[in-house]
A = this chain, B = another copy of it.
Amino acid sequence: MAKSYLSMSAAELQAELESVKKEYEDIKAQGLSIDMSRGKPGSDQLDISDGMLKVFDDGNFKCEAGLDVRNYGLLDGIPECKKLFADLLEVKPENVIVGGNSSLSLMFDYVSQCMYQGAGFTPWSQQGKVKFLCPCPGYDRHFAICEYFGIEMINIPMTAEGPDMDAIEEAVKDSSVKGMFCVPKYSNPQGITFSAETVKRIANLDTAADDFRIIWDNAYCVHDLTETTDELVNIFDVLPEKNKDMVIEVASTSKISYPGAGVSCLVSSVDNIKAILKRLTVQAISYDKVNMLRHVKFFKDVQGIKEHMQLHAKILKPKFDAVIDTLNSDLAGLGIAEWNEPNGGYFISLDVTGGSASRVGVLCKEAGVTLTNVGATFPYGKDPTDSNIRIAPTFPTPEVLSKAVKVLTVSVKLACLENLTR
């Protein structure tokens, strides 16, 4: 076990700084160029879905409703795709709308609808200031939606059980707090799955706003990495009558089949589905039903999706292991960093001490490794303690990844030593 930096003498720290500085310069001299900024699948992961492009070799384009999927119609999606998502998320097909290639668009469009047409009441935008609760670290694109619509974001700290429920229960007493984004399973970036207790407390929230909405972004619902899988309570199963319209769940096949060429879905109460279809009937004639049927023909059922996800896990697990192993071997015991070992999802979250995350980002960048912008995991891009770094290990090959994480750990050590010797 390495000696903690925190227990080193000034002289020891200085010697370590010189040694790490040399290590960093050597790495920098390699002239690397590695992008670890986004949660993109690698191309070997994309290949395993290519069978999907052959499913129409049979020339059969009819969906269960008897309609030719190549033509107009079926605004809420083809029945078999509604059923596939319903089975996957353990809800009923009548609560599902199948969308286009982007669950992000479903979320953006829904928030827009609430802002300007309302969530069953006066439009949010006509009720004065609108605030959202943002469990963080979280997903930068959720924060970007809030920022676009001028929604004020309130930081809610994450715990190992999910967002700090005491803070949330207190915050929702303010009727201008209209909603919250959550990634309840294998959260982005920490890989935390909300505990049963947390899900129940969220479901039973006593909100001052009658038109409070939770965007339940279940992006990683079947994205297990190991045999030890996290279990998420189905929030609709524990939703009391008074909150029946409170939850809008979304998911997609972006990290099941193809990112950007998959199929998304939205799940909510029948009343919410009706209100959304009222907009959709003006906004579109239908989403891409050929792609919906392509997915159903390829995956067949939830079991098919689960088996497919094991192929992804087989590719991803060694990458996550490479990161964790390097973090363990290089940083364990130094007292300057903490990280998670998630059972699924797309990220590893690294917290460094002493407000040095931005400096780590700069050092990595200068050594040719692009991380997710430091700060991006917090509202307004501002990490109050400048500590969180999101590691996206999925895109690089394991060999490249090992090099990249080495750059990262050396940068973490260097940034912290700079701080400690200042």
Contacts and interface: CB of A to CB of B under 8 A. Distances in A.
Interface of A: 38, 40-41, 43, 46, 49-50, 53, 56-57, 59, 61, 68-73, 100-102, 104-105, 108-109, 112, 115-116, 125, 141, 144-145, 147-148, 258-261, 279, 281-291
B259 A71 contact: yes
A284 B46 contact: no
Contact of A258 (B100, B145, B290): B290
Contacts of A291: 261, 288, 291
A47 B181 CA distance: 43
A69 B259 CA distance: 9
Given A50-B59, A112-B112, A260 B102 contact: no
21 contacts: A43-B68, A43-B71, A46-B61, A46-B70, A53-B57, A69-B260, A70-B258, A71-B258, A71-B259, A71-B260, A72-B259, A72-B260, A100-B101, A101-B288, A108-B283, A112-B112, A112-B116, A116-B116, A141-B282, A260-B286, A291-B291
B287 A260 contact: yes
A355 to B, nearest CB: 29
Contacts of A68: 43, 46
Contacts of A282: 108, 141, 144-145, 147-148
Given A50-B59, A112-B112, A141-B282, A40 B287 contact: no
Contact of A115 (B116, B147, B290): B116
Nearest to A100: B100
Given A283-B108, A285-B102, A261 B69 contact: yes
A73 B287 CA distance: 20
Contacts of A260: 69-73, 285-290
B283 A104 contact: yes
B261 A41 contact: no
Given A115-B116, A288-B101, A259 B148 contact: no
Interface centre among A69, A104, A108, A283 (most CB of B within 10 A): A283
A278 to B, nearest CB: 9
A404 B208 CA distance: 58
